[in-house]
């Protein structure tokens, strides 16, 4: 069995990647890796509270490996902290790191460069899947998520806090990717096929910060 660690953002693409990996013969997912903003104690970019990610990990039955990012965090510091996590993975017998990236070539190439010489292979289990179909497949399979972050330059502010469901997809303008792969929105998964039970959550305060609109999940 190839032991794999999964880069876990707390969103739908991470949950679907875990779902795919668990159906792939010869692969054992051994850990979830999440970056946290230390100052806010939340997931970087998604702004999800740490305790919610810990609850997600419990429901997957997998250990959570947090990477604690200072704020502000330079790229050099970020890369050193990621390298330390990769060294830990290699020591613990993990052979690959999986990512839920879909089609952004520059991000994939960056991840591949970062893993060079680490002894770990990069895996992209859902790479190049057509995102409109993928989004519908996720919803049909039982993935339930809240939209936690919106880029108001690309998507209406009112979408922050909405459920990621068929009504949400139907309301997206043609310029917005169905999975938000261009950074239009980010999500938090509260139920999925990979969870032993759903999380009981609700949408809290909506705030605008650093050019983005965030919905707090409680």
160 CB-side CA count, 13 A: 23
- Residue 176 confidence (pLDDT) above 90: yes
Q: Is the pLDDT of residue 12 over 90?
A: yes
In this predicted model, what pLDDT tens digit does every residue of 39-92 receive, in sequence order? 999 998 789 999 999 999 999 999 999 999 999 999 999 999 999 999 999 999
Q: Mean pLDDT for the chain?
A: 97
pLDDT score, position 177: 98
**Residues of the chain with pLDDT > 90: what percent?**
97
- Which tens digit of pLDDT belongs to each residue from 127-173? 999 999 999 999 999 999 999 999 999 999 999 999 999 999 999 99
CA distances from 191 to 3, 16, 125, 142, 152 (A): 24, 11, 20, 7, 26
Give me the pLDDT at residue 148, please: 97
What pLDDT is attached to residue 185? Answer: 98
| Average of per-residue pLDDT across 100-124 | 97
User: Is pLDDT at 103 greater than 90 in this prediction?
Assistant: yes
Indicate the CATH number for domain 2-123: 3.40.50.620
Quote the pLDDT of residue 105. Answer: 98
β-pair partners for 144: 191
pLDDT at 1 over 90: no
Burial group, residue 55, by CB count within 10 angstroms (0-12, 13-18, 19+): middle
Counting Cβ atoms within 10 Å, is residue 212 exposed (0-12), middle (13-18) or buried (19+)?
A: buried
Domain ranges, ordered by start, for the chain: 2-123, 134-217
Cα 153 versus chain centre, distance: 21
- The confidence band for 14, taking pLDDT boundaries of 50, 70 and 90, is very high
């Amino acid at each position: 069995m190839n032991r794999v660690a999964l880069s876990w953002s707390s969103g739908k693409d991470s949950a679907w990647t875990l779902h795919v990996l668990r159906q792939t013969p010869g692969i054992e997912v051994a850990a979830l890796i999440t970056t946290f903003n230390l100052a806010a104690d939340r997931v970087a970019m998604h702004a999800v509270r740490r305790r919610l990610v810990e609850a997600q990990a419990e429901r997957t039955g997998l250990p959570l490996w947090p990477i604690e990012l200072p704020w502000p965090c330079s790229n050099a510091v970020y890369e050193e902290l990621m390298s330390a996590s990769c060294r830990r993975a290699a020591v613990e017998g993990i052979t690959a790191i999986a990512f839920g990236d879909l089609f952004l070539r520059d991000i994939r190439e960056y991840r591949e460069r970062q893993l060079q010489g680490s002894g770990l292979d990069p895996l992209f289990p859902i790479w190049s899947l057509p995102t409109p179909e993928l989004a519908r497949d996720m919803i049909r399979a039982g993935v339930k998520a809240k939209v936690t972050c919106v880029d108001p330059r690309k998507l209406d502010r009112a979408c922050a806090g909405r459920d990621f469901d068929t009504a949400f997809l139907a309301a997206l303008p043609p310029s917005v990717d169905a999975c938000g792969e261009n950074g239009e929105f980010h999500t938090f998964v509260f139920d999925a096929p990979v969870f032993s039970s759903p999380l009981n959550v609700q949408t809290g305060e909506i705030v605008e910060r650093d050019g983005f609109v965030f919905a707090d999940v409680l």
